Structure 1
Amino acid sequence: MAGSLSEIKGKIVSTEKTSKITSAMRMVSSAKLVKSEQATKDFQLYASRVRQITTDLLKSELIFGSDNAMLVARPVKKTAYLVITSDKGLVGGYNSKILKAVMEMIADYHDNNPNEYTIISIGSVGSDFFKARGMNVSFELRGLEDQPSFEEVRKIISQSVEMYQEEIFDKLYVCYNHHVNSLTSQVRVQQMLPIVDLIAEEARESKEAVFELEPSREAILKQLLPQYTESLIYGAIIDAKTAEHAAGMTAMQTATDNAHQIINDLTIQYNRARQATITQEITEIVAGANALE
């Protein structure tokens, strides 16, 4: 029984240490989440302004039609999926949700035919997942910072846009977890190319141009449309990172709660075992005293 008490006590001490670690990790994820949510808000202000400028410059194209390659759909021979996952675990179902959704899309729309799709991967978990299954990963980025700057992701974003312009693929989707709140995220699959989120109705309702253009309108659009798409992809990366921090915080909170529950159960078990030991010792002493009478 002494061995059993010692074993239970050891489990309690070990679980308490684990709970302290998970609690600290929860607080770290919480701090990262606050910063990431602020970064998302700041980006949304920028994205809104860029959208306004782009819509105004494209007013006639959106209303009457356009022949711009960034706006016009072409026959789809190959589709690209830019998939955003984390670089590590301990984030609950964050990675499994998005990877499951992507695999279902590939099975449904391409019948798993590798000639019909390619994958651009951000995050080690996704890259390792796809490569382990022999799937085509044309470009990847690992080791993303907790608060990624545009410069850090510029290469993979620019590469994605260039591949579309060079007709290596004909449609680009970004697949990621959209941050709703600290407890909830939603899988989002957003078409980035060709550009479809600019709405003709917005162009009709927009005011007369208030922007001074230098150089020509066409030269500006040639630079602006790729940058507009790049900003949307960057926004998705920030959104996904926010969801990742929220998932990590929730996962560590759950782990901490579970550890506390285990400690409570072990404490009850320890007290019962200790009580049984004391009762047995008293019984033995009484029996010994009775034997001496």
Structure 2
Amino acid sequence: MPSLKELRGRIAGVKNTRKITSAMKMVAASKLRRAQTHAEASRPYAEAMRRMMSELAAATKGQGDAPTLLGGTGEDRVHLLVAVTSDRGLAGGFNANVARMTRQVIARLQGEGKTVKLLTVGRKGADQLGRTYADILVDRLPGTAGRDVEFGTASGLGERLVSMFEKGEFDHCTLIYNSFVNAMTQTPVERQLIPLPAPEGANDNEDARASDAPQYDFEPDEGTLLARLLPRNLQMQIYAALLESAAGEQGARMTAMDNASRNASKAIDQLSQRYNRSRQANITNELIEIISGAEAV
């Protein structure tokens, strides 16, 4: 049985841990409100732009001069997966969920005979996936380290993907990240970036819907306009995903630190009970020794 001194040391240690987890919870909660506001504000713009570009992809389908970012290379051999995680831990299963989905997607694609390449954004994703998939890992990019997400980060990643695509390094590009639902729920999402997916329901009654499809007139011309719109859309989709991931990270960390603080309080109560029982037993033994000694005299 541990001594009273050891129990006091354990209680003090757990109390210090609770102070740290409580402070981290408050910091995450303060960051969450700002990150959530940014993520929710980006959704309408990103969704509208994604829908418009998907309709453009459907409208220009089959045209020989359609930009490649719309229709892709026409091949389905090499897939690039971009896994977005955080740079810091202590966020529950936030990073593990992205890593798990990434492994599942890699296993599915490789099972279909596809060549898979992996690019990680965030240190935790590189740590978890880099050991297993070192042979297919293209690069390890840093995350936001808990800071506000700047558009330049998404712009740089978008330019990197466009450059890789133009060099023929992949045919399909998919982004895997955590979508923010609320402080307790972050859902891993698999979103195709290149080529742009067709609008939902585009394959249903295609002939009947052809007359209802939007018609676009391009000014100055289709090539010039889409050459600027497509990279911008790619950067915007990445930016929205990074904002979702940042909000999810703070929500997951706040929830994890709240649970840790609660568990620390329970551990303190249990250790305090053991300490009081041990102290009471020691006092009782001392009294018995005193009484026994007095009776012997």
Query: Which residue is equivalent to 2:177?
Result: 176
Gaps of 5+ in 2: 203-208
Q: Distance in 1 between matches of 2:193 and 2:12?
A: 52
**Deviations, residues 70-126 of structure 1 (Å, cap 9, x unaligned):** 22251212000000111121111111121122112212221498x811111100122
TM alignment of 1:75-114, pairs within 5 A: 75-111=75-111
Query: Which residue is equivalent to 2:15?
Result: 16
Q: How many residues align?
A: 284
Change (3 A) 1:197 1:237: farther
Structure 1 residue 9: deviation in Å?
A: 1.0
Q: Does 1:163 align with 2:159?
A: no
Structure 1 residue 191: deviation in Å?
A: 0.8
Q: Distance in 2 between matches of 1:242 and 1:98?
A: 15
Query: Which residue is equivalent to 2:150?
Result: 149
Q: Does 1:267 align with 2:272?
A: yes
Q: Percent identity?
A: 30
Q: Distance in 2 between matches of 1:159 and 1:273?
A: 64
Greater displacement, 79-88 / 41-50:
41-50
Change (3 A) 1:193 1:143: closer
Query: Which residue is equivalent to 2:195?
Result: 194
Change (3 A) 1:204 1:222: farther
Report the AA paired with residue 65 of structure 1: K
Q: Distance in 2 between matches of 1:217 and 1:160?
A: 22
TM-score by length of 2: 0.86
TM-score by length of 1: 0.87
**Deviations, residues 249-293 of structure 1 (Å, cap 9, x unaligned):** 11111111111000000010011111111111111111112112x
Change (3 A) 1:197 1:140: farther
Query: Which residue is equivalent to 1:33?
Result: 32
CA contact (8 A) 2:176 2:190 kept: yes
CA contact (8 A) 1:140 1:156 kept: no
Report the AA paired with residue 38 of structure 1: T
Query: Which residue is equivalent to 1:5?
Result: 4
Report the AA paired with residue 283 of structure 1: I
Report the RMSD for the aligned CA atoms in angstroms. Answer: 2.7
Report the AA paired with residue 75 of structure 1: E
Structure 1 residue 198: deviation in Å?
A: 4.0
Query: Which residue is equivalent to 1:119?
Result: 118
Query: Which residue is equivalent to 1:284?
Result: 289
Report the AA paired with residue 7 of structure 2: I
CA contact (8 A) 1:130 1:136 kept: no
Q: What SS does the aligned partner of 1:260 have?
A: helix
Query: Which residue is equivalent to 1:252?
Result: 257
Query: Which residue is equivalent to 2:43?
Result: 44
